[in-house]
Structure 1
Amino acid sequence: MKNLIISVIIISLWSCTGNQKKSNPISPPKIDIEKELAGIEDLRSNFVLALKEGRYEDMGKWVTTDAKTIRAGGPDFDEMFALGNERGMFPYDSIIMMPTETQIMNDSMAYDWGSSKTYYTNKDGEKVELRNSFLVILKKVDGEWKLHREVGSSVIE
């Protein structure tokens, strides 16, 4: 009986660790970080240029169809959004974006964090500069980076 128990234990251990095929883990696709960062810079440049040129109808090219944004708040931003309401999601005349950190998370998601200077024309025809900080989540759609989520804050830290 004692020999039977020892034999069963040895066979059990051997069957657990024995002739198992080792599988190769699937490695994620290689990401060309420089290429992806250049694509994000292209997105940023095209977006800024379209705003500056007043091509608001083109903004959809650089935004996902289900984009969500939380805008910066405060009375100055409230005034800008009220005056630019007919322009849609981006009611300003121009913007200068100063990213502090851009991180490629995987082959289809990235984020951009930094601050910006937003310019608009107030009701008296004067140019107004507003500063804010932002966190943008970018999503790659059909090989192109697009703005997917944005959180803006009038507080800059």
Structure 2
Amino acid sequence: MALNRDILDIAVVKQAKENLYWLAAKKFTEKNLRFPGKKGWLEDNITRKYQEALAGIRVHPVSREFSQEITGFFNNEDLVHFVFRYRVDPPGNNLQLVCLTARLGENRKMFLTPTIFDLPTANEIYGTLAGERVEKNEKEYNTKELLRMHL
């Protein structure tokens, strides 16, 4: 019994590390996001939540989902809040990133990820959200100017 658990634990760590490798390739690391927490925080949390999902599947073999949040700092002033949504499906128990939701101020956007390769980089997501914020501010400014001119 202990041998099976050891094999399962190794598989969990391997899957989590593979996922984190791809997240790092997309610039989602504590360092790139300038996250103030300790190094390895993201890996520890994803691995722990994955283990918890697998423990639940052993008791009741249905798909499990969990999320992991992290905040990134961009341009020394902008905070972007990222929420990664994962699913684990029996019987393979593979860790799958389902979607990512990102928020900058009031701007929020969801990115569906059929595969992790489809995930934009952290900087691309920030650029999208920051661009939407600028467009929104310009529209508000133009609306106020039109109202002022007609009053």
Same fold (TM over 0.5): no
| Higher RCO (C-alpha 8 Å, min separation 6) | 1
Higher strand share: 1
TM-score w.r.t. length of structure 2: 0.34
* Larger helix share, 1 or 2: 2
